[in-house]
A and B are shown apart, each in its own frame.
Chain A
Amino acid sequence: MDKVMSNKKIIALYVLPALLVIMAVVYIPIILTAYYGLNEWNGIGAMTFIGLDNYQALLTDGKFWDSAWHSLLLAVFSAASLIIYLAVAMVLASKIKGANLFRKIYLIPMLLSSVAIAQLWLRIYHPTNGIVNSFLESIGISNPPAWLAEPSLVLFALFIPILWQYAGFYILIYYAALKNIPASLVEAAKIDGATSMQIAFRIKLPLIMEVIKVTIVLAVVGSLKYFDLIFVMTDGGPNGSSEVMASYMYHTAFRAYDFGYGSAIGFFLLVICLIVTWVIRKLTASKETIQYS
């Protein structure tokens, strides 16, 4: 048995195809990104090695830090909105008929492409014919704002479709976690006279803490690399007021043909994502994991 199941040729045959693809498409490009960042390069001609100049320039590039700030804002919004999702999931997981149908309906936007969502919300926000402004006008607000053209509003306006897209996903995760809590625990607490608030905050929340941590990482890292929807809806505008890190990278490389600097941004994005994942994990690491069941 062992001899058959440790045949090296067969193992290589089974593992190598996938491993080669992931090496070629994920790991080698990551190393190349870091290296391209050390060069001046327009993407076609010869590379000129310039050492850390690009990375140094990045540190003082106001546009880059603006885009990083926008990404951070989105991350904070996303993390904060987890509270709403958690609340909805708590309602859904408590004696609700049709809970299964509700969570499926909530999930639908998440299955659609960001491009379709972006195009749809472009119409929703349309200054004159969109439903948002039609509604505002019908209740007597004349001259409602052009949501995506106002530098001060655009990020908030963009966050609504993001919320719309991901709400069902997080509600689904929380719902599944809450349903996994053993009923006996909740029953025991009830018999001891705990109120439903106490049960929610003292029993259910601590029990799904692991899942909450994972969702915080997903929401924050997901926001840091957010791209498609913003690219289609505003392309970073107006005047850079919705530029995020990934779109700034894209514009630098594929519009301004500064592939060296674009790569430096791409590498920075990777490093930030890894650091943030690690930091959130550390910050939210509990000293002891609660094991009731």
Chain B
Amino acid sequence: MISGATGQLQEGRARSGNGAGRKLGYMLLYVVLIGVAVFQLFPLVWLLLFSLKNNQEVFDLPPLSLPMNPRWENYEKVWSAGNISVYFLNSVWITVAATALTVILGSLVTFAITRMKWKGSSFVLGLFMVAMMIPVHSTLIPLFSIFNKVGLTDHPISLILSYVAFNMPITIMILLGFYYTLPKEVEEAAVMDGCSVHRVFFRIVLPMTGSVLATTAIINMIYNWNEFIFVNTFISSDMFKTLTVGVQNFIGQYTTDWGAIGATLMISILPILLMFLFLSDRIVEGIAAGSVKG
């Protein structure tokens, strides 16, 4: 609300402020902003273009030229050759499973911390928040040996557990902000009427947090989809690898086929780009909420 009003006020001033110098200044600002936008987008446009060319076209044509006939067969080729389709499905189900678990467990914790009365709640919250500062790499060797001992290396459960643990702090942090703003009257009335805690949580509170759940779920999905080092360390069978590591291995074998490499990379980033196209506001909101308090 406030920022909208400012915008209008400032626009009004800008219009009343006359003079060519001022206009030139604005032009310059836009040139800077558009320059940054081009820098951010250019590599991706180039990627899309070379994913539709064969090597000859990549080497002989100017970088930003459109291929004569877009070679969609690059996509067909990498999808069926190699294991890209397997990696893709692994990424999907592991991302979804880890995200669902994180969001549910995180909601339970946040509910218990903000709504229930118990000693040690702030200590437990502290444990979750401090975990945010711990570098993943410092846990890698012991995690590898623990998972090895219990027979979970080369098993998707090792990935799901790791994703749940390392995304739990940020999930709880985003949820906390929302839970504090939720009115408690409805729950209090429900408890008075003899409603159980489970009912209060699952029937009243959880449905009210729908929008923030969506935000945290999206942030979780992006992190899980892109995760590399755990998959690279824990998983050795092709049947369990996800796209990040799969893409890395696949490209290692096809270092000279630019079209195939481009198509593989495009397939790996397309789900995220599509999600961004439809949910950009929520993603922006989630990233802003998850970062500033860090």
Interface residues of A (CB under 8 A from B): 1-2, 4-8, 10-11, 13-15, 17-19, 21-22, 24-30, 32-33, 36, 43, 88, 91-92, 94-96, 102-116, 119-121, 123-124, 129, 131, 134, 164, 167-169, 172-173, 176-177, 179-180, 182-183, 186-187, 211, 214, 217-218, 221, 224-225, 227-228, 231-232, 246, 249-250, 253-254, 259, 262-263, 266-267, 269-270, 273-274, 277
Query: What's the least CB distance linking A111 to chain B, in Å?
Result: 5
CA distance A157 to B94 in the complex (A): 34
> Quick one: given A10-B116, A169-B287, A218-B294, are A246 and B135 in contact (CB under 8 Å)?
yes
Residues of B within 8 A of A259 (CB): 141, 145
Query: What's the least CB distance linking A136 to chain B, in Å?
Result: 12
A196 nearest in chain B by CB position: B25
Q: Which of B128, B161, B272 contacts A25 (CB 8 A)?
A: B161
Residues of B within 8 A of A164 (CB): 39-40, 43
Given contacts A11-B116, A129-B258, 6 further A-B contacts (CB under 8 A): A5-B197, A119-B265, A124-B43, A176-B292, A262-B141, A266-B139
Sample (20) of A-B pairs whose CB atoms are under 8 Å apart: A1-B191, A4-B191, A17-B105, A18-B128, A21-B164, A24-B161, A29-B143, A29-B146, A95-B11, A96-B29, A119-B261, A119-B265, A129-B258, A131-B63, A164-B39, A167-B40, A172-B287, A214-B294, A217-B294, A263-B142
CA distance A111 to B276 in the complex (A): 9
Q: Which of A106, A214, A273 contacts B133 (CB 8 A)?
A: A273
Please indicate which of the listed interface residues A18, A124, A254 has the most CB atoms of chain B within 10 Å of its own CB.
A18
> Quick one: given A6-B118, A108-B41, are A30 and B228 in contact (CB under 8 Å)?
no
CA distance A13 to B140 in the complex (A): 29
> Quick one: given A11-B112, A211-B292, A259-B141, are A121 and B5 in contact (CB under 8 Å)?
no
Residues of A within 8 A of B105 (CB): 17-18, 21
CA distance A110 to B30 in the complex (A): 22
Q: Is B21 an interface residue (CB 8 A)?
A: no
CA distance A1 to B127 in the complex (A): 27
> Quick one: given A18-B105, A25-B139, A164-B39, are A113 and B244 in contact (CB under 8 Å)?
yes
Residues of B within 8 A of A217 (CB): 294
Minimum-distance CB pairs A-B, first 10? A25-B165, A113-B226, A32-B142, A29-B142, A183-B6, A29-B139, A270-B138, A14-B108, A18-B105, A14-B112
Q: Is B186 an interface residue (CB 8 A)?
A: no
- Tell whether, in the assembled complex, residue A123 and residue B248 are in contact, meaning their CB atoms are under 8 Å apart: no
> Quick one: given A10-B116, A43-B145, are A227 and B40 in contact (CB under 8 Å)?
no
Q: Is B79 an interface residue (CB 8 A)?
A: no
Query: What's the least CB distance linking B187 to chain A, in Å?
Result: 9
Please indicate which of the listed interface residues B11, B39, B59 has the most CB atoms of chain A within 10 Å of its own CB.
B39
> Quick one: given A14-B108, A25-B165, A107-B284, are A167 and B131 in contact (CB under 8 Å)?
no
Residues of B within 8 A of A26 (CB): 131, 134, 139, 165-166
Mark contacts of B261-294 with chain A using CB atoms, 8 A cut-off: 1 yes-contact digit, 0 otherwise. 1100100110011001000100110011001111
Residues of A within 8 A of B41 (CB): 105, 108
- Tell whether, in the assembled complex, residue B44 and residue A108 are in contact, meaning their CB atoms are under 8 Å apart: yes
- Tell whether, in the assembled complex, residue A18 and residue B106 are in contact, meaning their CB atoms are under 8 Å apart: yes
Residues B122-137 near A (CB distance < 8 A): 124, 127-128, 131, 133-137
CA distance A214 to B132 in the complex (A): 14
- Tell whether, in the assembled complex, residue A270 and residue B141 are in contact, meaning their CB atoms are under 8 Å apart: no
CA distance A280 to B261 in the complex (A): 42
- Tell whether, in the assembled complex, residue B143 and residue A25 are in contact, meaning their CB atoms are under 8 Å apart: yes
CA distance A88 to B229 in the complex (A): 32
Q: Which of A106, A113, A123, A250 contacts B225 (CB 8 A)?
A: A113
A1 nearest in chain B by CB position: B191
CA distance A223 to B211 in the complex (A): 32
- Tell whether, in the assembled complex, residue A173 and residue B292 are in contact, meaning their CB atoms are under 8 Å apart: yes
Query: What's the least CB distance linking B173 to chain A, in Å?
Result: 13
